[in-house]
Amino acid sequence: MRAWQARAFGGTASRTGTGSATADRDEAAAPAKSGPARLLSSGSPRRRGLLAALLAGLIVLGAGLVVIEQLPTRYSTTSTISFAPRSLNVVDADVVELIANKYSVVAGATATVDSAADTAGVTPKQLRDTLSATVEPNTGNLNISVSLANARQAAVAANSIANTVNRAAGNDRLIAGEITARADPTAAQLKPSRTLLRVVVVAAALLVAGWVGFAVRQLSRRAGKET
């Protein structure tokens, strides 16, 4: 009887040992998770959501900042010509604005652009692609803006166009023009605004982080209910 019990106990112990060894081998054979995958697969749903949100936000923020730094830098300068009725003429303000719009066409004329481009040392195409000549609403102010990779060249081009337009207006019988503000390279505005773009990237990173965190929490809770 004792011999039989010994054999039975030994067999049971042997099977138990074999089962434990098999489980250990299975755990060892299973691929170990590392890095973000290990972090996201551990902890409560809330913790997983926070980790996923942090990871997604950092990725979006890093990628956005890299893209911003790669954007081409341009400097925008503006010259302003103010038109007013000549002393001997009584001209309505609407007429002054209408005539000022005529000189915005002169600013973009081929001869004007070619001459300004030669003066600034750029190609006519480069200048034409970044030239803007607009009249402020309800005024006689014509703003001539140029954006180029070099602030000095942008200012020279804008001032050259303003000079040409002002000379053309010298023969106008109804209104007279005066350059009231010349383009200054030291006051050039950086385009696009890096500060504004960084704010947009930070806002996008926060939105993506919030959405990813919420989605991961919901998926984790649903998986927990199903198991």
Query: pLDDT by residue (tens digit) across 69-113?
Result: 666 678 999 999 999 887 766 677 788 888 889 999 999 999 999
Amino acid code (one letter) for 20: S
Do the beta carbons of residue 78 and residue 144 sit within 8 Å? yes
Tens-digit pLDDT profile for residues 148-174: 989 999 999 999 999 999 999 988 888
With 0-12 / 13-18 / 19 or more C-beta atoms within 10 angstroms meaning exposed / middle / buried, residue 219 is middle
Tell me whether the omega of the peptide bond preceding residue 192 falls within 30 degrees of 0, making it cis: yes
Question: What's CA 219's distance to the chain center, in Å?
Answer: 32
pLDDT at 117 over 50: yes
How confident is the model at residue 4, as a pLDDT?
A: 47
